[in-house]
Amino acid sequence: MDATRSCPDPAHVAPALLAWYDRHRRALPWRALPGEVADPYRVWLSEVMLQQTTVAAVRPRFEGWVARWPDFASLAAADEAEVMAAWAGLGYYARARNLVAAAKAVVADHGGAFPADEATLRTLPGLGAYTAAAVAAIAFGSRAVVVDANVERVVARLFAIGEALPGARVAIRAAADRITPDARAGDFAQAMMDLGSGICTVKTPSCLLCPLQDECLAFREGAPERLPVKAAKKARPQRYGTIFWLQRGGEVLLVRRPGKGLLGGMRALPTGPWVDAVPGLAEPPVVADWRLRNATVAHGFTHFDIELALAVATTDAHHDGMGEWWPIADLDRAGLPTLFAKAAAAVMRRDG
DNA sequence: AATACGTGGTC
DNA sequence: TGACCAAGTAT
């Protein structure tokens, strides 16, 4: 090897990576076969589903979604409550709201055709810097600098960027730009993600299998797993609340959460305030003979943990306007976020 | 710039 | 088994 050439050599990275990708690419439901034209709708949908969400979690949900809403027009015309229910369990529910809003914008403002350029894509709700670049590259073949957490890791190691995230993102993006090829930009982006997912992993990268080993400065220096350096995480506060299970015959009262904020727009069980100390029976949805169960439900969100007490009551009144009375036997189909699905399971474990 | 925003897989 | 983390975006 020529000891004077740069490491990594930007001209060598893409060819080596693409050759590896041609042999080892993952077969994924949203990925076009080699030589096949990508469907922008499927590319966009998969990219949004995959935001902060693992391939393992998305894989079983993707085809069912496409079967139900196969294109922009059908999604633009969809019942938003059904869309939200279909997203239940995937988290970050603003993504589902933005999916419908973006589909409507495609139909209303772009004649039903997905915009092909990165800047216009960036104007659609839910498409940030990453997703706009990924769609431009993967669906339309444009050269775009696609930087997700995989690319950050691979690039930080290739170039031995020791600055901590998030400050390192400026240098990482500049380095990613230097190795992004003009041709096969979509394959290059997906190859970087496959490499980050399967070879250049967070804790114990498989450097001996890596097609970029000869280009990697962190490998040469001996400790690639130390990069990228990350800022220390803050402790998550503990909160407490109460879930109110109001039963009438074989039905339970469900409400819809406010359109924005935590679990925004989702069906839910009624809750009282979420606060720093156990609130007991504060703020029930209706006056009833509430009984506190012994069991609690624990759940972790990104920025706090919560422990919820379960209060149960029965009623004969209709309580019109409070929410929906939902058949308990069909609760699976209500599309409850995981927290409330857990609570329902806890109530029924004891009743069942 | 820092924070809000979910969940399930992984080791 | 409890961290840690993932194909980020909006404000």
Q: Tens of pLDDT along A84-97? A: 999 999 999 999 99
**pLDDT for the residue A65:** 96
- Does residue A158 approach strand C to less than 7 Å at its CB? no
Q: Tens of pLDDT along A249-273? A: 999 999 999 999 999 999 999 999 9
List the A124 CA – B2 C1' distance (angstroms).
Answer: 24
Phi-psi label, residue A90: left if phi above 0, alpha if psi -120 to 50, beta otherwise? alpha
- Does residue A202 approach strand C to less than 7 Å at its CB? yes
Q: Which nucleotides of B are covered by protein (CB under 7 A)?
A: 2-11
Q: Which residues of A participate in catalysis according to the annotation?
A: 47
Nucleotide nearest A262, CA–C1', reads: B5
Band of the pLDDT at A79, cuts 50, 70, 90? very high
List the A79 CA – B2 C1' distance (angstroms).
Answer: 35
Task: Give A78-118 as a DSSP string.
Answer: S-HHHHHHHHTTS--THHHHHHHHHHHHHHHHSTTSPP-SH
Cβ-contact A289, A224 below 8 angstroms: no
3-state SS class at A1? coil
In order of their start, the domains of chain A are 10-226 (1.10.340.30), 238-351 (3.90.79.10)
Residue A350 has pLDDT above 80, yes or no: no
List the A352 CA – C1 C1' distance (angstroms).
Answer: 29
3-state SS class at A269? coil
Mean pLDDT of all residues in chain A? Answer: 95
